[in-house]
Amino acid sequence: MKEIITRINLHSLKSETHVQFNENANSVFVKYNPQALGIKALYDLYKTAFDNEIEALDFIRKSELTAKISAQDHRRDIIYRGFADTVKGAMRHFDQEHAEAAELLYGIIRHYGNIAQKTLDDETAAINDILREFNQPAAAAAVTLLNLQAWLDRLVEENDLLAALMSERYAETAERTPFRMKPARAETDKYYHAIVNQLENQWLAGGVTGEAFIRELNAVIDRYKHILAQEKGERKKSEINE
């Protein structure tokens, strides 16, 4: 049975890992010669898209805002985790009314899982959603009963500070490079998948794609599928341990 190219969910890779994957995949394409593989036109589009993605990532790495954003994200995570731990602890309150109020609030927190594993923008959005839920009458009453409003006020402050830093980064990026990471990644993925589809169709039709090339590309893909599985397992373990 002829070997086909393994599929991978590139969208789930972190940005640094996404670039590393494509660096490895590109090395395989170059080794076996895009012209000889019959993918020269698509490869040129892929390489241009990938170069743009590298430029977008390099800008993020070099940005003076990166350290500030990382530090602010850490501060926000500390406040959120402190709030969540306080609510969780209140579930053991000796007063039944207090315990039930804490259970209500922790149910909201648990629904969103380990938000620290999300991207910065997704975490900001998740916290905004949580804060809106806490403003609903029943949850707001529970917050008041447990005297937790100061925690929420601080969380709002830290979340807003990070959102402002992210907006500043986007403005800086727009000024200095035309490439943003998310659309650049999507463009790279589009041409990578187009190449894979063409190579697989050629192989199944008895074309030029060789077994050695497919085995080597699949070895790269399998390695990054393993990385994805590890990251997924770590996220699930973190959620279970909450």
What does the pLDDT look like over 134-144, one tens digit per residue?
999 999 999 99
> Which pLDDT does position 203 carry in this prediction?
83
Question: In which residue ranges of the chain is pLDDT below 50?
Answer: 1, 237-242
pLDDT at 78: 94
| 188 class by beta-carbon count within 10 Å (0-12 exposed, 13-18 middle, 19+ buried) | buried
The reported pLDDT for the residue numbered 174 is 59
Enclosing H/E stretch for 19: helix 15-31
Q: Which amino acid is at 14?
A: K
Eight-state DSSP code of residue 43? H
Taking the C-alpha atoms of residue 214 and residue 199, their distance in angstroms, rounded to an integer, is 9
How far apart (Å, rounded) are the C-alpha atoms in residues 32 and 29?
5
Could you give the C-alpha distances from 43 to 24, 39, 188, 190, 201, in angstroms and in order? 14, 6, 10, 11, 16
Q: What is the DSSP code (8-state) at residue 11? A: G
Furthest C-alpha separation in the chain: 75
- The pTM assigned to this predicted structure is 0.53
Residue owning tokens 């602010």: 72
pLDDT at site 2: 55
Report d(CA 182, CA 149) in Å as an integer.
36
pLDDT for 241 equals 47
- Picking from 37, 11, 13, the residue whose alpha carbon sits closest to that of residue 26 is 37
Q: Residue 131, exposed/middle/buried by CB under 10 A (0-12, 13-18, 19+)?
A: middle
Task: Report which DSSP code applies to 178.
Answer: S
